[in-house]
Amino acid sequence: MTLITRRGLGMLAAAAGLAGQSARAQDLPAHERDLYDAAKKEAELTWYSGQLQAEPGEAVGQAFSRRYPGIKVNVVRSTSQVAFQRLSQDMQAGVAQCDMFSSTDYGHYNFLKREGKLLPYRPVNAAGMIEPVRRPDADDMFQIFYVGLYLIAYNTRLVAAAEAPKSWTDLLDPRWRDKVAVGHPGYSGAIGVMAVTLKKRYGWDYFDKLEKNKPQIGRSADDPVTLLNAGERAVGMGVSLSMPLLSVARGNPLAVVYPTDGTLAVYSPSAIPKNAPHPNAARLFMEFCAGRDYAEVARKFFIMPLRPEVPPPDGALGFDKIKLIGATPSEIEDGVPEVKEQWRDTFGV
């Protein structure tokens, strides 16, 4: 009998790992294989993300590393405005840390593009995405992998389905005083877009009336879900579809409402900073996010997939069955700074 030493076991394990990596690389399409060869030399990438919560963000990073062994994703999760502030501070200090920047505020990308701060790249895999997101920028400075749907959620133990608000304007009814929770446009890009969109439709008078109902204001668009689960508030305003559905799947008493006056659709870009320290890994990450594997991981967390071959999450309607509202990129860029100030004046926070 041949004895295998601990050193021998280590060598066998390393060889098996290399064989697995080699076999995996051979399974990749040519455009990904070439990028993978270059990205392996960089070994990692850092992702500033204001789009996904920490759990799905980490799951995406792990799925990427399984597909491309030897490359680690460092997920830096925050709200979109905080992520942009961090990126801006890096750039002002001449520090290169971020390889992929993902925000729910479209205005960030218009600004960064004008300033010449982005590295152009169009993922080959984007050709297989749904048509509205295949090429959002003619100069390929950014790509869309995430379309957030923001709507109304409620605690089913506190609110009966027949009594739940059916529209954004229903939230102005005095019966919802001290019962609504919402994020803040100073932190959340999605709430900034919501404020711009509802202001466009109803005027700022909408928020003056909402203030009379004394909503509890957090930071993230998903902070209200925590309050709903705890029973501290009955209704969440402008929450992303994914968080209440994920919460329901874990046994919490929540339900969602697609508002009759329109569900907010937030088209959220991602981009590679021009000074990214790991540009090849970032390009490969873009290919991954445009592909089916990312869509499948997103779906598990009730995030709407942007690949036509991947169905909507359980409990969610398809895009074709939802009345969507939103704001244009220029309306977002011009409007978000203004609504931040109006929000602070109206709500005092």
CA dihedral defined by 281, 285, 288, 293, rounded to 10 degrees? 110
Cα torsion 196, 171, 206, 84: sign: negative
Q: Looking at the structure, do residues 84 and 110 belong to the same domain, yes or no?
A: yes
In the chain, which ranges are continuous DSSP H helix? Answer: 6-27, 30-42, 54-67, 80-93, 106-114, 189-202, 205-211, 223-230, 242-249, 279-290, 292-300, 329-347
Q: Looking at the structure, do residues 241 and 294 belong to the same domain, yes or no?
A: no
Per-residue model confidence as pLDDT tens digits over 211-235: 999 999 999 999 999 999 999 999 9
Q: Looking at the structure, do residues 193 and 302 belong to the same domain, yes or no?
A: no
Q: Rounded to whole angstroms, how far apart are CA atoms 303 and 106? A: 19
Q: Looking at the structure, do residues 31 and 138 belong to the same domain, yes or no?
A: yes
Which is nearest to 201 in space by CA: 266, 268, 262, 267?
A: 262
Residue 8 within a domain:
no
- The predicted model scores a pTM of 0.86
Residue 2 within a domain:
no
User: What is the per-residue pLDDT for 109?
Assistant: 96
Residue 216 within a domain:
yes
Domain around 291: 14-147+267-316
Check if the beta carbon of residue 315 is closer than 8 Å to that of residue 248: yes
User: What is the per-residue pLDDT for 17?
Assistant: 44
User: What is the per-residue pLDDT for 25?
Assistant: 56
Which residues fall within 8 angstroms of residue 229, CB to CB, at 6 or more apart?
155, 247, 252, 254
Q: Looking at the structure, do residues 245 and 141 belong to the same domain, yes or no?
A: no
How far is residue 248 from each of residues 38, 190, 245, 302, 317, measured CA to CA in Å?
42, 22, 5, 11, 16
Per-residue model confidence as pLDDT tens digits over 103-160: 999 999 999 999 999 999 999 999 999 999 999 999 999 999 999 999 999 999 999 9
Digit-by-digit pLDDT tens for the chain (349 residues) are 334 444 444 444 444 444 344 335 558 999 999 999 999 999 999 999 999 989 999 999 999 999 999 999 999 999 999 999 999 999 999 999 999 999 999 999 999 999 999 999 999 999 999 999 999 999 999 999 999 999 999 999 999 999 999 999 999 999 999 999 999 999 999 999 999 999 999 999 999 999 999 999 999 999 999 999 999 999 999 999 999 999 999 999 999 999 999 999 999 999 999 999 999 999 999 999 999 999 999 999 999 999 999 999 999 999 999 999 999 999 999 999 999 999 999 999 9
Q: Looking at the structure, do residues 259 and 281 belong to the same domain, yes or no?
A: no
Q: Rounded to whole angstroms, how far apart are CA atoms 32 and 29? A: 5
Residue 40 within a domain:
yes
Average pLDDT, the chain: 92
Q: Tally the residues of the chain.
A: 349
Q: Looking at the structure, do residues 45 and 140 belong to the same domain, yes or no?
A: yes
Cα-Cα end-to-end distance for the chain: 74
Q: Looking at the structure, do residues 143 and 274 belong to the same domain, yes or no?
A: yes
Query: No. of H helices and E strands in the chain?
Result: 12, 11
CATH number of the domain that residue 165 is part of: 3.40.190.10
Q: Please count the structural domains in the chain.
A: 2
Which residues fall within 8 angstroms of residue 78, CB to CB, at 6 or more apart?
48, 49, 50, 86
Q: Looking at the structure, do residues 84 and 202 belong to the same domain, yes or no?
A: no
Angle at 201 between CA 234 and CA 258, to 5 degrees: 40
User: What is the per-residue pLDDT for 204?
Assistant: 98
Q: Looking at the structure, do residues 246 and 297 belong to the same domain, yes or no?
A: no
